[in-house]
Structure 1
């Protein structure tokens, strides 16, 4: 974090110091919203959530070393008291970003693949300079300010994943940390229920990213997605495109190895070619890697170095096509951080590719949230996709919409079972799985299937 005194922080966020005997005390470590992560030099932001109120943990945070608490009322320890903690956290991040005079802000968005692409870029951009990247999927109004506040004077690239669940979200995020480079991966059906049920509305919201770019900036757009390409007219920045069927930066000769990991030839904007062999699973990762490559190439990294770094990159975020081998020969694909129709489709294709017709496949699929009035249609389509991917056994987890998946898959000949929740799913898996099986676990975050995947990996203890 850019070092700031408590007095400076109070001025920047319009707050008042309480119980702070030393206004010159320095905050030089990142802000946190979890008191268990507080450390000497940090700032604890006491957010009030649905389950608990951060103000209850103010004392613990300071005892752990936090210099002060960003709070909405006095808490008996040094505090900067403000009307609203979330707004103050954003204002503090905005001020800190403005002091990152030597850093280039690189932002990315899209309906699917944001976190995987961010993880790839976070392993490529350090070749150009010190990089601070969004951890996990901290891409919202809390996570983005926290990421910005991790950057310091030595940061050269600030890599920010930006999510949106309604129009205006990305404009708000770019207002905190104005990007110079913006990557838009795709427009799909994630959260479509919150956007009035249309991809056009999603594209309008995601396009807020390229509208925020300066005239000397760079917009990196997916040439294979017409919704994304329509954003070219909405930006003053230079446009660099990527894709498989076209684009300035292209992936060609795409193949999968026996484990389902893609390899391909990467062609840059000058027509030069280099081979890439990813350590990630699924053909859909090619688009993510090509988008990441376009950003790096646009920033001046040589093609050979981009290709080498992409080939060395490892999966970083749990629950995103995370592949774990159990000692008994069962392979668990934990893709359960979240789910939407597009990400379920590519996960099922990846499962089929990884099996290669040689292994029995099991899909554990939970319901998908925020799909609006056409949610039923989307869930029925997933059932058909399960059959198309030749999944051997399906466990559909949930209620009415899970039943739609179950019925469609069973009607197409898949051995399918409907269970009420993740606990029941785990019990079925205990009995069903045998050595050599390949099991995919995927569902919206609210289903809790990420925990099921973790428990499954420990039955027996997984080799990690």
Structure 2
């Protein structure tokens, strides 16, 4: 079946699904394969649960309501690109080392004040997630915010070939996925593939004009629209405070966010300048920023048993960890306690980067610290080092914590939100 024909089938379906546990009546099921599963084996189950059709790529599973293609994943990607090309929606591509998902949510909150928008669900930002986001674009969608993640070279370029963004923004270039990118320079090169696509196609780029890497990369490129705290050539936005929540001043208006940490200032700024570019009134931009409340373990403020807890356990890398620690040090609060978990995907830099964090903790003057994970277990530090979460649990069971201000941060694989059950 040709892509244009499959697209007509898709338009008659209620949506797209790749997981039989989430099938809705009338869905178009794509039988994707993984390392430990073959989606073709679940096609019949998908149909039984109400899917209108199932796209498969193994002939032995053929049957009624099944569409046989050469490669299900490639077909999903091609269908997404075809749908994108046949949509009038403007596409905003978003990538970066830190803050992508928060920035995406802020942009969506601001732009949805005026436009019909769709945005990446959660962090479904890879070679499967990006197509699924594009296929969620409806006939009346005006703007789609597409988050793009990557852990190696050429991945962003590939995602751009599917999404073909009209606009783009890179949050920052940090020490994330160093193992796959081959170091910081590799991160810069890989993330900049979004810039490369936009410049080749003469598209608009949103930028943080205070970021020296972005300034250098974009040079004299004409179609750029940015914010700055000091360069008068760009839209002026200023940080008022971040103790604990980020408050901002733009055009004399104060915007009070629900986000902690100075590192979220630029994320808010990105949403503000996109709102300005798309002619959203400043009062509505303010409403969009102030209406966003973080969830899913991302800089959440939780009050529990008289403790104020900052739960930032969705992800971590050396850049975000350092920023979180420096912000926590500036915050007012009683009896500060740190629970820090390992940072993943650092390759040969793992020991060095974990040691730097341990050194930073001491430099910032923290007293109550728990380091969790096999990488932190190897660093030189005077603070308790627990190789596993179970060891941390045993340690905490014998302690009675006074009323405290607590920061919990680590990579997703550490699942440090489990600490909440122990406090």
Q: 1:232 aligns with which of 192, 200, 218?
A: 218
User: How far does residue 351 in structure 1 lie from its aligned partner after superposition?
Assistant: 3.0
State the partner residue of 1:159.
145
Aligned ranges 1:438-453 → 2 under 5 Å: 438-447=405-414, 449=415, 452-453=416-417
Q: 1:422 aligns with which of 365, 389, 407?
A: 389
State the partner residue of 2:300.
322
Query: Contact 2:239 / 2:246 at 8 angstroms: preserved in 1?
Result: no
Residue 342 to residue 142, structure 1, CA distance change in 2 (3 Å): same
Residue 426 to residue 303, structure 1, CA distance change in 2 (3 Å): same
Aligned ranges 1:29-428 → 2 under 5 Å: 29-73=14-58, 74-75=60-61, 78-101=65-88, 103-199=89-185, 201-213=186-198, 217-233=203-219, 238-246=223-231, 248-257=234-243, 260-266=244-250, 272-316=251-295, 318-326=296-304, 328-354=305-331, 356=332, 358-399=333-374, 401-405=375-379, 407-408=380-381, 410=382, 416-428=383-395
State the partner residue of 1:4.
none
Query: Contact 1:250 / 1:290 at 8 angstroms: preserved in 2?
Result: no
C-alpha distance in 2 between matches for 1:31 and 1:185: 29
| Partner SS for 2:269 | helix
User: How far does residue 264 in structure 1 lie from its aligned partner after superposition?
Assistant: 2.2
Residue 106 to residue 419, structure 1, CA distance change in 2 (3 Å): same
- TM-score normalised by L of structure 1: 0.83
Query: Contact 1:218 / 1:298 at 8 angstroms: preserved in 2?
Result: no
Query: Contact 2:110 / 2:287 at 8 angstroms: preserved in 1?
Result: no
Query: Contact 1:29 / 1:150 at 8 angstroms: preserved in 2?
Result: no
Residue 149 to residue 253, structure 1, CA distance change in 2 (3 Å): closer
State the partner residue of 2:420.
457
> What stretches of structure 1 move > 4 A for 4+ residues in a row?
23-27
Query: Contact 2:29 / 2:55 at 8 angstroms: preserved in 1?
Result: yes
Give CA deviations for 1:227-246 in whole Å, capped at 9, x if unaligned.
Answer: 122221496x6111223343
Query: Contact 1:132 / 1:159 at 8 angstroms: preserved in 2?
Result: yes
User: How far does residue 92 in structure 1 lie from its aligned partner after superposition?
Assistant: 1.1
C-alpha distance in 2 between matches for 1:397 and 1:458: 16
User: How far does residue 150 in structure 1 lie from its aligned partner after superposition?
Assistant: 1.0
**Unaligned stretches of 5+ residues in structure 1:** 1-9, 16-22, 267-271, 411-415
- TM-score normalised by L of structure 2: 0.91
Query: Contact 1:262 / 1:280 at 8 angstroms: preserved in 2?
Result: yes
RMSD of aligned alpha carbons? 2.5
